[in-house]
Amino acid sequence: MINLKSAFSSIGEFVGGLVELLASLAALGIVSEVIFGTGVWGMNVVGNLVAIISTFGDNGFAGLLALLVLVGLWNKK
C-alpha cells in the first residue's frame, strides 16, 4: 500500500520532470529561432518571452515582485 508521502513525492518528481522537459523545449525554440530565423513549429518563442518580460516591466513594482517570486521558485528546485 502506498502512503501519502510517497504519492506526493512521485507527483513532485513527475511535475519536476515535466518542467525540465518544457524548459528544454523552450531553449530549443530559442536556439532554433536565433539560428534559422523561425521558431520551432512556427511559434515565435523569442517574441513571446519578450512580451512576458515587458508585461512584468509594465506593472512596476508589483511586476518586479512577481518576477522575483517566480525566479525564487525556479531556483528553489
Cβ(68)–Cβ(76) under 8 Å?
no
Amino acid at 51: A
Q: How many domains does the chain have?
A: 1
pLDDT of residue 18: 92
**Using one digit for the tens of pLDDT, what is the confidence trace for 7-42?**
888 898 998 899 889 888 888 888 888 888 877 777
Cβ(26)–Cβ(33) under 8 Å?
no
Amino acid at 60: G
Residue-range definition of the domain harbouring residue 54:
4-76
**Using one digit for the tens of pLDDT, what is the confidence trace for 56-65?**
778 888 888 8
Give the position of cell 506526493.
Answer: 8
* CA torsion angle 36 38 40 43 (round to 10): 160
Distance, CA of 56 to CA of 67 (rounded, Å): 7
pLDDT of residue 51: 87
